[in-house]
């Protein structure tokens, strides 16, 4: 049964979670999410990606009933696979926008953190409640969250396990945009659509420079940036962009994505 699917329309690939009622993350969801992320990465017709869980909920976290029966070896393999799947999502070399409705808790929030931009419904609630189960986030919550909102705010959420409403999520930096629930997918597609006609290779390089550079010393990050900049000289879009600028002025280039 398909619980995750990739739908491509107008250059935007929507990765849709569909495991009612709460899109709980189990091994099947993780496996199909991995496949969808790889397809979105490889498909040249996908120029930007939207992560979406549907009108009612993004993802309410891991399947607790399934996890409760796991022994140490099983949970070690499970969290490793989920974390590596989320890393594939985070490494999609295209702009990724999360469209979050309802709950994004635990693994659901960790998945949303893999996106470059997060659009939240005004009724959304997010958080990492794993501490209330006697454990900690295991698929990015203790790592991506502090890098996004800072260690102190991340510790507050991780230590307490409390849920954060959309307004606070926007204030502390989890949400980039908050809109009425009925507009979440439309707004996410609007944001993703800004990049569909852009230079795909340069967008991928920009994403890599920012994401990888954040983990490096400044001198190393600057060398990475310079190498990625120079590498774009081999692309057709670089030639198109510079030629168009000289002949027609800025903002007129029609990029091919190559």
How is 77-108 classified by DSSP, letter by letter? Answer: HHHHHHHHHHHHHHT-SS-EEEEE-SEEETHH
pLDDT in tens, 24-69: 999 999 999 999 999 999 999 999 999 999 999 999 988 888 888 8
User: Considering 151, 167, 193, which residue would you say is the last residue of a domain?
Assistant: 193
Q: Which of 7, 87, 110, 236 is catalytic?
A: 110
Domain end (from 154, 175, 193): 193
The residue annotated as part of the active site, out of 74, 130, 183, 225, is 130
Q: Are residues 141 and 185 in the same domain?
A: yes
Q: Please, which residues have CB within 8 angstroms of residue 118's CB and are 6 or more apart in sequence?
A: 97, 98, 100, 112, 174, 175, 176, 177
Same domain for 126 and 74: yes
Same domain, residue pair 241 and 179? no
- Of 105-114, 214-223, 225-234, 245-254, the poorest mean pLDDT is in 245-254
The total of structural domains in the chain comes to: 2
* 107 and 234 co-located in one domain: no
Structural domain span for residue 166: 4-193
Does a structural domain hold residue 253? no
Query: CATH no. for residue 93?
Result: 3.90.226.10
The string of pLDDT tens digits covering residues 190-224 is 999 999 999 999 999 999 999 999 999 999 999 99
Let me know whether 208 and 158 are in one domain.
Answer: no
Looking at the structure, tell me whether residues 72 and 88 fall in a common domain: yes
Active site residue 39: no
Residue 67 belongs to a domain: yes
Do 119 and 91 contact (CB within 8 A), yes or no? Answer: no
Q: Classify 183 as helix, strand or coil.
A: helix
Same domain, residue pair 139 and 232: no
Assess whether 74 and 102 both reside in one domain.
yes
**For helices 236-248 and 200-213, what crossing angle results, to 10°?**
110
Helix 27-42 vs helix 72-90: crossing angle, to nearest 10? 20
The last residue of one of the domains, among 193, 211, 231, is 193
84 and 164 share one domain: yes
* Percent of the chain with pLDDT strictly greater than 90: 94
Q: Are residues 141 and 238 in the same domain?
A: no
255, part of any domain: no
225 in catalytic set? no
pTM over 0.85: yes
3-state secondary structure of 63: coil
């Amino acid at each position: 049964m398909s619980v995750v699917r990739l739908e491509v329309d107008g250059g935007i690939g929507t990765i849709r979670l569909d495991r009612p009622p709460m899109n709980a993350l189990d091994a099947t969801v993780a496996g199909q999410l991995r496949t969808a992320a790889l397809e979105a990465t490889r498909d040249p017709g996908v120029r930007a990606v939207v992560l979406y869980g549907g009108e009612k909920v993004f993802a309410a976290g891991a399947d607790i009933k399934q996890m409760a029966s796991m022994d140490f070896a099983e949970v070690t393999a499970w969290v490793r696979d989920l974390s590596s799947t989320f890393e594939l999502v985070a490494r999609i070399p295209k702009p990724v926008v999360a469209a979050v409705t309802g709950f994004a808790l635990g693994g659901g929030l960790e998945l949303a953190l893999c996106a470059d931009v997060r659009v939240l419904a005004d009724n959304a609630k997010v958080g990492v409640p794993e501490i209330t189960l006697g454990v900690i986030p295991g698929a990015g919550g203790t790592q991506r969250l502090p890098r996004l909102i800072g260690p102190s705010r991340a510790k507050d959420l991780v230590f307490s396990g409390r849920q954060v409403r959309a307004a606070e999520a926007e204030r502390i930096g989890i949400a980039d945009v908050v809109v009425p629930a009925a507009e979440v997918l439309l707004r996410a597609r609007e944001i993703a659509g800004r990049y569909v006609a852009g230079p795909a290779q340069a967008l991928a390089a920009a994403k890599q420079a920012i994401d990888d550079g954040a983990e490096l010393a400044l001198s190393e990050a600057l060398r990475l940036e310079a190498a990625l900049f120079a590498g774009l000289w081999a692309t057709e879009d670089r030639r198109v962009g510079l030629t168009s600028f000289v002949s027609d002025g800025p903002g007129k280039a029609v990029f091919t994505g190559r």
